[in-house]
């Protein structure tokens, strides 16, 4: 399965709506706060997995298993950022396009390279 950022955002919009219905918070401010804390929490879990995999990398079997955990936690970080963007009513597709343009110009990177 391959998806665009627009499709990913649309999927997480549905998941966000479900979360907000299942675990309702008092207002938008609280939801933004909760989503922000979730990004920090997931980033902590990803850091933990990366540090663990670095300690265990000599044991190839364990390293392979921990690679899966790193992938899983990286996906959680991405998901939590997408959910935060939705709550902040930020169009990720638009802001990322703008950011890529800015970075390309800053480092003089060709758009076709
Ligand atoms: Mg996680």
Written as six digits, the tokens of 83 are 């959910």
Quick check: 93 and 9 in contact, CB under 8 A? yes
Distance (angstroms) between ligand 1 centre and the Cα of 44 equals 8
Distance (angstroms) between ligand 1 centre and the Cα of 54 equals 18
Distance (angstroms) between ligand 1 centre and the Cα of 82 equals 14
Distance (angstroms) between ligand 1 centre and the Cα of 108 equals 36
Distance (angstroms) between ligand 1 centre and the Cα of 22 equals 19
Query: What is the C-alpha separation between 63 and 48, in angstroms, rounded?
Result: 14
Note the pLDDT tens digit of each residue in 22-65: 999 999 999 999 999 999 999 999 999 988 887 765 666 566 66
pTM to 2 decimal places: 0.87
Within 13 Å and on the Cβ side, how many CA atoms surround 108? 0
Domains parsed from the chain with CATH numbers: 5-107 (1.10.287)
What mean pLDDT comes out for the span 82-89? 97
Quick check: 84 and 40 in contact, CB under 8 A? no
Query: What is the C-alpha separation between 88 and 98, in angstroms, rounded?
Result: 17
């Amino acid at each position: 399965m391959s998806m665009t950022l627009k499709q990913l955002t649309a999927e997480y919009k549905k998941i966000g709506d479900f979360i907000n219905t299942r675990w309702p918070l008092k207002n938008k401010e609280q939801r933004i706060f909760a989503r922000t804390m979730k990004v920090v929490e997931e980033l902590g879990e990803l850091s933990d997995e990366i540090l663990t995999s670095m300690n265990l990398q000599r044991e190839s079997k364990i390293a392979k298993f921990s690679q899966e955990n790193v992938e899983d936690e990286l996906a959680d970080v991405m998901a939590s950022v997408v959910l935060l963007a939705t709550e902040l009513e930020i169009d990720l597709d638009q802001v990322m396009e703008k950011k890529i343009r800015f970075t390309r110009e800053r480092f003089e990177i060709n758009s076709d390279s």
